Amino acid sequence: MLAVADCVVPWASVIVRKSFGVAQGAHYGPDAYILAWPSAEMGALPVEGGVAVAFARDIAASPDPDARRRELEEQLAAGQSPVARAESFSIHELIDPRETRARLCAWIEWIQPLLPDLRGPVSFPMRP
């Protein structure tokens, strides 16, 4: 994560499927261009594991534990949608997978004029 935070080159990420925890944070460096497909699932934890740990007592106390677990998983899965991330500006665009190449090519054309200013020596702060 420190390497991501210290990154000085522009990059683009396309989230196509699952992106959780620290691995998800690696997409969000400075000036990163982040696209997501509708199939993307994002969050702190995968829903199944998170529900099993965070709601274990609630599920066990329920008259129908399987139904309660499914209900909680469905409720939390809605928050992992790329639509919610796009609405909160965590990703730049939610795109049709067929648009991926065109969007990345447009980004390269946009970023190209900025690259000469990024040349030269780079120093990084002390890392732990």
CATH at residue 90: 3.90.226.10
What radius of gyration do the chain's Cα atoms show? 19
Give the model confidence (pLDDT) of 39-77 as tens digits. Answer: 887 776 667 777 777 888 888 898 998 898 888 888 877
Average pLDDT, the chain: 80
Average pLDDT in the 25-50 region? 76
CA 86 – CA 88 distance, rounded (Å) = 5
Is the pLDDT reported for residue 89 higher than 60?
Answer: no
Per-position DSSP letters for 39-71, written without gaps between them = T-EEESS-HHHHHHHHTHHHHHHSSSHHHHHHH
Q: Could you tell me if 32 and 99 are in contact, meaning their C-beta atoms sit under 8 angstroms apart?
A: no
Residue 120 forms part of a structural domain: no
Residue 127 forms part of a structural domain: no
Residue 19 forms part of a structural domain: yes
Question: Comparing 15 with 107, which gets the higher pLDDT?
Answer: 107
Residue 54 forms part of a structural domain: yes
- Give the model's pLDDT for residue 105: 96
Sign of CA pseudo-dihedral 20, 22, 27, 28: positive
CA neighbor of 70 nearest in space, from 85, 58, 82, 83: 58
Residue 122 forms part of a structural domain: no
Residue 97 forms part of a structural domain: yes
Domains of the chain: total:
1
Give the model confidence (pLDDT) of 92-111 as tens digits. Answer: 888 999 999 999 999 999 99
- Distance linking the first and last C-alpha atoms of the chain: 12
Give the model confidence (pLDDT) of 112-127 as tens digits. Answer: 998 888 887 877 666 6
Which domain range does residue 27 map to?
A: 2-114
Residue 55 forms part of a structural domain: yes
